[in-house]
Structures are given as C-alpha cells and as structure tokens.
Amino acid sequence: MATTTERRRGVWPAAAAAILVIFVFALYLGIIVGQGEADVTRVAFVGVLLSMVAACCVTAAVSLDARVRSRAAWAGVGALLSLGVLAIFSVGLPLLVAGGLLTGGALKMGVPPGSDRGAAAAFVVGALVPWSLLLL
C-alpha cells in the first residue's frame, strides 16, 4: 500500500497561536477575578470568543482539509487582530502577537483554488464579531 505524505504548511504558527490564546484566556480570567468584575455577560462573551478563536487555531493546525484549514485560520486572524485592538490596554498585545503568528501560518497555508471567497468571508466575520462587545 502506497502512502502519500503531504507537507502541511503553517501548522506550527497556528499551534503556537492556539497556545498563546489559551494562555491569554487564563490571564484574562485571572485579571477579572482579581478585580472582582461584576459584569458577567461581558466576561462570558469574551471567554466564549477566546475559546472559539483557540478552536479556530487548533482547527487550522490539525485539519486535513485545506479549505477548512484556510477558513479557520483566516477567521482566527480576523478575530485575534480585532480583539487585540479592542483590548489593547489589558490583554490585547499578546492577542496581537497571536494574530501575527496565525497570519504567518495562514499565509504559509495559502488559499486553495476556489475557496478565496470563503477565506475572505471568514476573515470579515471573524473581524466583526469582537466589535459586538461594544453593544454589551
């Protein structure tokens, strides 16, 4: 039985971004608990958002389908950069670093033929979701 191995590019930057996002999530919870923050809705939203971004990073790192990897990576890039700008005075800088790592990984992965619109849409949706924090 012949096996083919396809070299998947951009795996390590996506995995590093996932680890950094998980670290930032723990840091964010530590900061909020230390301050005695009472706004449970906003804390829960940010927690779910960071969990989803970490899931995008992990999916970009481990998925075998190139289209799924590309869309997950670009959705994560949009969300990380957008949330990093919004949270620049607390945990935004590490999120921007993770966004930079994931951007590098997404560029190395490339966009498979025919899925460029899907990757662009994923980026736009990922970038817009954190701005709904302003509505809370």
In a domain, 60, yes or no: yes
Domain assignment of residue 62, yes or no: yes
Domain that holds residue 52: 11-135
Q: Note whether residue 2 is domain-resident.
A: no
How far is C-alpha 14 from the geometric centre of its chain's CA atoms? Answer: 9
Please tell me the total count of domains within the chain. 1
* pTM as predicted: 0.88
In a domain, 6, yes or no: no
Backbone angles phi, psi at 124, to 5 degrees: -65, -45
Sorted by sequence, the CB contacts under 8 Å of residue 101 that are 6+ apart come out as 13, 14, 16, 17, 20
Confirm whether 101 is domain-assigned.
yes
Instruction: Please report the pLDDT score of residue 75 as a whole number.
Output: 96
Query: Is there a domain that residue 42 lies in?
Result: yes
Interval 30-50: pLDDT, tens:
888 888 866 788 888 899 999
- pLDDT tens readout for residues 41-78: 888 889 999 999 999 999 999 999 999 999 999 999 99
Please indicate, yes or no, if residue 4 is contained in any of the structural domains.
no
